[in-house]
Amino acid sequence: MDAGLLRVILGTVLVRVETATQDLNLHKIVGFWREAGVASSQNLALETPKRLEALFLTLSGDELTGKAADDSSGSCETENIVGSETDVSGRFVFPGHREIHVIDTDYEQDAILRVSLHWQGQDFHMLKYFTRSLEDEYGPGF
C-alpha cells in the first residue's frame, strides 16, 4: 500500500476515534501481532533503522508485557517491555517515556495503536496498524 494513502487512512481513523471511548478487553488483545503499517507526520518516526516485525503480548494483572522482535541490520533482536494500564482504558505507559494507546481493534484480525515517545527532548507520535496474519497482506484490514 502506498505510504501516503496509509497515512491518510490512519490519520482519518485517529480523528474519528479521538472522541470515542471503548473499554478494551485485555484478555482478547493478548497474543501474536505483526506490524503491517506505520503512519506519522514526523519523518524520524518513519525512518527508524529498526523495523518492528512482531509483537507478542501477555497479561499479568494490570501489567501488559510485550515481547517485541525487530529487524536491525539484518539480524533479529528481541526486547521485553512491561507497561501498566493508566486510568484510560487501553492506554499503557512503559519505561523510557513510552506510551501505547489501543485506538481500535476487532481482537481477531486487526488493531490500530497510537505510539508516543519522548526522545532527545522531542515528542514523537505515530499510528501503527497490526494484524494477526503472517501471510495475507491483502486481507480485509488492508
Tell me, yes or no, whether 139 lies in a domain: no
Tell me, yes or no, whether 113 lies in a domain: yes
Tell me, yes or no, whether 140 lies in a domain: no
pLDDT at 114: 94
Q: How many domains does the chain have?
A: 1
φ, ψ at 47 (rounded to 5°): -105, 20
Centre a 10 Å sphere on the Cβ of residue 73 and count the other Cβ atoms it contains. 7
Tell me, yes or no, whether 138 lies in a domain: no
Q: What is the CATH number of the domain that holds 8?
A: 2.40.128.20
Give this prediction's pTM. Answer: 0.75
| Rounded-to-integer distance, Cα 27 and Cα 33, Å | 14
For 27-38, the three-class secondary structure string (H helix, E strand, C coil) is HHHCEEEEEEEE
Predicted confidence pLDDT, tens digits, the chain (142 residues): 455 555 555 555 544 444 344 688 989 999 999 988 888 887 765 666 667 788 899 998 878 898 988 876 677 788 888 999 898 888 999 998 889 999 999 999 999 999 998 878 888 898 999 999 877 655 555 4
pLDDT at 104: 93
φ, ψ at 93 (rounded to 5°): -110, 145
Tell me, yes or no, whether 84 lies in a domain: yes
Strands (E), 4-139: 31-39, 51-60, 63-72, 75-85, 91-94, 98-105, 110-119, 122-131
pLDDT at 31: 95
Expressed as residue numbers, the domain containing 126 is: 3-131
Three-state SS at 4: helix
